[in-house]
């Protein structure tokens, strides 16, 4: 089970708040292209596709590839901007053996209850040598993420996420090796004021799992910060590439 339910309210918040502009995605496009080596006819799994924004981005960026979007939450599937999205999870992928040329997991790995099961299932469906690209915030690596500056109480939630070492260990047991670990910058909002206005608690797992009082305190700090900060909000997330 995921850390949060992703019911209709969560899906609506995610749809409203968790998307980046083309400029914000530019560094991710470059990184994905470098590690995925996209080509017409290749099949890429988007595991935990959510509302389908990454699946749609991939097909826009890389014409001719086929994206197979898999998402466990019915509420997310219903709101997807990409079709089709099929039901499934990391331990139960509705795919044949050796059937995909790459896999993408964006801010999903912390929702996977059994990393070992997920690793073996992904090893099953990925063709030999195909990359698995994991975009995530990992335990102990909050420094580049603006949200934790204003909501430091949420760091304790992040630190319950899998660490990079834990993910590498679980996947190594299924035959994966680490190919790369990079920090990718993204422009999350044009300004702190824009970020504060658009913030939806239900869209962020670390914010949902702190107390109401802690959330209110962080929101006050963030809005106070808008009085003195007037620059783009740039966050840095990790990209872990396994093969």
Mean pLDDT, each 10-residue run in order, the chain (243 residues)? 61 59 88 98 97 96 98 96 97 98 98 97 98 98 97 98 98 98 96 96 95 98 96 97 98
What is the dotted CATH code of the domain comprising 8-142+162-188+236-242?
Answer: 3.40.50.150
Tokens of 220: 């006050």
- pLDDT number for residue 9: 67
- pLDDT number for residue 24: 78
pTM as predicted:
0.93
- pLDDT number for residue 20: 74
- pLDDT number for residue 62: 98
Place of tokens 């070492």: 165
- pLDDT number for residue 23: 78
């Amino acid at each position: 089970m995921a850390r949060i339910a992703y019911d209709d309210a969560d899906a609506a918040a995610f749809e409203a708040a968790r998307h980046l502009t083309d400029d914000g995605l530019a560094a991710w496009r470059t990184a994905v292209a470098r590690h995925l080596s996209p080509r017409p006819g290749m099949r890429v799994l988007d595991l935990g596709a959510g509302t389908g924004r990454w699946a749609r981005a991939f097909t826009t960026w890389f014409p001719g590839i086929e994206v197979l979007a898999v998402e466990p939450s019915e509420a997310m599937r219903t709101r997807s901007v990409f079709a089709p999205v099929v039901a499934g999870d990391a331990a139960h992928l509705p795919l044949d053996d050796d059937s995909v040329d790459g896999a993408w997991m964006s801010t999903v790995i912390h929702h996977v209850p059994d990393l070992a099961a997920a690793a073996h299932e992904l090893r099953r469906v990925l063709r030999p040598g195909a990359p698995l690209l994991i975009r995530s915030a990992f335990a102990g690596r909050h420094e580049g993420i603006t949200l934790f500056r204003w909501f430091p109480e949420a760091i304790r939630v992040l630190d319950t996420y899998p660490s990079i070492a834990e993910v590498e260990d679980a996947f190594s047991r299924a035959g994966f090796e680490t190919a790369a670990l990079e920090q990718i910058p993204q422009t999350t909002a044009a300004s702190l004021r824009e970020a504060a206005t658009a913030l939806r608690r239900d869209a962020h797992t670390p914010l949902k799992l702190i107390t109401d009082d802690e959330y209110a305190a962080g929101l006050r700090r963030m809005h106070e910060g808008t009085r003195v900060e007037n620059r783009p909000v740039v966050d840095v997330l990790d990209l872990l590439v396994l093969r």
